[in-house]
Chains A and B, each alone.
Chain A
Amino acid sequence: MKLKGSQIFIQSLVAEGVDTIFGYPGGAVLDIYDEIFKKDLRHILVRHEQGGAHAADGYARATGRVGVCLVTSGPGATNTVTGIATAHMDSIPMVVFTGQVATPFIGTDAFQEADITGITRPCAKHNFLVRRVEDLEQTIREAFHIARSGRPGPVLVDLPKDVMQAETEYPAEAPFIFQKDVTPTRPDRNALKKAYEMIKESKRPVIMTGGGVIGGKATEELQRFVESAKIPVTATLMGIGGFPGTNPLWLGMPGMHGTYQANMAVSNCDLLVVIGARFSDRVTGKTSTFAPHAKIIQIDIDAASIDKVITAELPVVSDAKQALEYLNDLLANNHFYLPEEERKAWLDEIEGWRKEASRPFAQNGKIKPQAVIKMISDLTGGDAIIATEVGQNQMWTAQHYCFTRPNTFLTSGGLGTMGFGFPAAIGAQVAFPDRTVIDIAGDGSIQMNIQELATAVNYRLPVKIVILNNGHLGMVRQWQELFYGKRYSHTVLTKSPDFVKLAESYGAVGLRAEKPDEVETVLREGLSRPETVVMEFAVDAEESVYPMVNPGSPITEMRLY
């Protein structure tokens, strides 16, 4: 059957199991939008292409599926670059389709032309420019395959207008040969046997997980492993939710704003089992002082992440699920049993650290942002999908919301993109219309993609936006206070809108709390409403994120307040 490129585009997406795309039309993609209209494929119209990219990203993080975004050429495409780089840094599976000028015009500085494949080469997992309609079907299949296989990542596919109008035979007859292998890397069993021995011998072990356990869909295997081996667990920002925060073996997050007990445990352990984490500088602090007494076992699907920053004594290239399955088999087959007393000394020491550092929130008549988040955690039972922006709002959420399930914490960890959270929350809400989805934001971040209020209201998405308004670019202000002699250069955010009125002008519900005793009422009401709700909390501007490890310092050197 002869079909046009635009029709093949739709068919190929359907063949990949795509049922939702986030996008914004334009001249170069008119043919595709014509087909979308006829086919009635679910398309969420955003208000800025960056919002579209982050929404596809949030959809992918919440569902574990490949997110899809469609934009036009030139500025439409360049507006997705931040979103692509965000997904790249956090290894999120996503395919971004960009329109392009017709092939004879490429390279002529045509209207709305951009060399988007050149621009995104370093910040996408891979990209394609489809020069012939005969290549379209194969390219789309390959793009999805690359996005979701191995270490996932964003893939861009550039679609010239004439290719969308040209016709070819569909489906194509030639078989598809994928250039890079589909199957997840099988672990070296001898290496894992050695890991098992090392775990058996260790007296003070710690497990550190990252985004790879969630992306690798290995949280059940992890839970079983931890329960058998009775090893305390920490997770990097990207790994939060991979292990239930309610479990007594949960240490909290390590690193720059990690918990006291997590940092002390990592720094004093004799064995560190790292699964799906890449030793970000936010986690390690000064690398020469990281886990100084520990042998390190590193299990990762990406060989390039091993020995990149920290040397592992036992590296294992594998996807998390298979590695943990095999380790669980080893534990079971060897009748691994750990008597309580064996682990008690280590766990007691950790409990001591936990007590040492815990302190209640101060009361000074102003709303404490940490208390707001803790209350959200309590009111939602740790069961909501929480997106964050970047900075203090993000760190406090990681510290004070008790996550129990994977794919519920949507945060830009690697790139740290302000403006990510709200569109990501929209993407998650589109995927799960019946779940509570909350974006926790600061007054700076929320204004970066505030236009997506129109998207949320338009599709009746009951996203809840919590704005912790301290009138400042909080995290930067904190650094200026600590390291730049309180020279607050351009971190006061004056002339922010009245967020309640702004919400209402978009047709959303707006609520505000100005005093601590108003917080619970506003939260209860906001969370119960079926509409898009903006809840603004006037929080104490003096609050900073603690604990804090100075950049480049050992993670044992924490300021606690």
Chain B
Amino acid sequence: MKMNEQVLVLIVRNRPDVLARVAGIFSGRGFNIENISANVMPEPDITKITIVTRGDLATVEKIEKQLKKLVDVREVTHINGDGSVKRELLLIRAPLDGKDTDRVLSLIGNTGGRIITRDPEFCIAEFTGSNDEINEVLNCLDGIKMEKLSRSGTVAL
């Protein structure tokens, strides 16, 4: 985790515009969203949104208070470093051109990737880990000519 990185977890009412409202607090008040992840919860009508922002404790407190005022926000929790688990997901698509195929596949395997799709011409691999670990994976995969990649936001407990 980089300096001053703060993770906020919001439990919100599942409404079409709730994400816009939450994002609006960040943009309207001059706070920044570094990454974001959102999905429904088992409880009906509830969504969990995880946001990584940057700032000191006083700033995060201000953001928390503004978020709590939103009618659709039920709870806001600030996840601290100790004892928390933060993970991200990375998907990559790498070309397989016959001669290089073995090297590419073994590199993916050695960096902890799982092959999701295997095609004669390309493969899609999935990696999970902490923010630092995913950064490290991307460094290691520098030797592959990646066609596409997609990186998720942080989820945390």
Q: Contact residues of A with B, CB < 8 Å?
A: 117-118, 121-122, 125-126, 129, 146, 179-180, 302-304, 307-308
Contacts and interface: CB of A to CB of B under 8 A. Distances in A.
Given A122-B24, A304-B65, A304-B66, 4 more contacts: A179-B13, A179-B72, A304-B69, A307-B61
Given A117-B17, A121-B17, A308-B62, A303 B68 contact: yes
A129 B24 CA distance: 18
A301 B66 CA distance: 13
A129 B70 CA distance: 16
B157 interface: no
12 contacts: A121-B20, A122-B28, A125-B71, A126-B70, A146-B71, A179-B72, A303-B68, A304-B62, A304-B65, A304-B68, A307-B61, A308-B62
Contacts of B114: none
B86 interface: no
Given A179-B72, A180-B71, A121 B21 contact: yes
Chain B interface size, under 10 / 10 to 19 / 20 to 34 / 35 or more: 10 to 19
A122 B20 CA distance: 10
Interface in B34-78: 58, 61-62, 65-66, 68-72, 74
B55 to A, nearest CB: 15
B35 to A, nearest CB: 22
Contacts of A303: 65, 68
Contact of A179 (B17, B20, B71): B71
Contacts of B21: 121
Interface of B: 13, 17, 20-21, 24, 28, 58, 61-62, 65-66, 68-72, 74
B62 A302 contact: no
A134 to B, nearest CB: 15
A125 B62 CA distance: 18
- The DSSP consensus for interface residues of chain B is helix
Nearest to B69: A304
Nearest to A155: B71
B65 A121 contact: no
Contacts of B66: 304
Contacts of A121: 17, 20-21, 24
A307 B61 CA distance: 9
B68 to A, nearest CB: 7
A403 to B, nearest CB: 30
A107 to B, nearest CB: 11
Nearest to B13: A179
Question: Most chain-B Cβ atoms within 10 A of its Cβ — which of A129, A180, A302?
Answer: A180
B63 to A, nearest CB: 10
B71 A126 contact: yes
A474 to B, nearest CB: 31
Contacts of B13: 179
Contacts of A304: 62, 65-66, 68-69
A147 to B, nearest CB: 11
Nearest to B62: A308
A305 to B, nearest CB: 9
A122 B74 CA distance: 19
Contacts of B17: 117-118, 121, 129
Give the 9 A-B CB pairs with smallest separation, nearest first.
A304-B65, A126-B71, A122-B28, A303-B65, A304-B66, A122-B24, A121-B24, A180-B71, A304-B69
Contacts of B68: 303-304
A180 B72 CA distance: 8
Given A179-B13, A308-B62, A118 B20 contact: yes
B144 to A, nearest CB: 41
B60 to A, nearest CB: 12
A276 to B, nearest CB: 16
A129 B17 CA distance: 10
A146 B71 CA distance: 8
Most B-side CB within 10 Å, residue of A118, A179, A180, A304: A304
B142 to A, nearest CB: 42
A304 B17 CA distance: 22
A146 B13 CA distance: 16
Contacts of A307: 58, 61-62
A373 to B, nearest CB: 37
A129 B21 CA distance: 14
Contacts of A118: 17, 20
Contacts of A117: 17
A307 B57 CA distance: 13
B14 to A, nearest CB: 12
Contacts of B28: 122
Nearest to A150: B69
Q: Which of B20, B24, B65, B68 has the most CB of A within 10 A?
A: B65
B17, B28, B66, B68 interface centre (most CB from chain A within 10 Å): B17
A426 B57 CA distance: 47
A118 B23 CA distance: 12
A223 B28 CA distance: 38
A518 B58 CA distance: 58
A125 B69 CA distance: 9
A492 to B, nearest CB: 36
Nearest to B74: A179
A129 B18 CA distance: 12
B43 to A, nearest CB: 14
Contacts of A126: 70-71
Contacts of A308: 62
B47 to A, nearest CB: 14
A146 B17 CA distance: 17
Contacts of B71: 125-126, 146, 179-180
A98 B72 CA distance: 21
A117 B16 CA distance: 11
Nearest to B28: A122
A307 B60 CA distance: 12
A489 B2 CA distance: 49
A302 B72 contact: no
A218 B20 CA distance: 36
Nearest to B66: A304
Nearest to B23: A121
Contacts of B58: 307
Contacts of B62: 304, 307-308
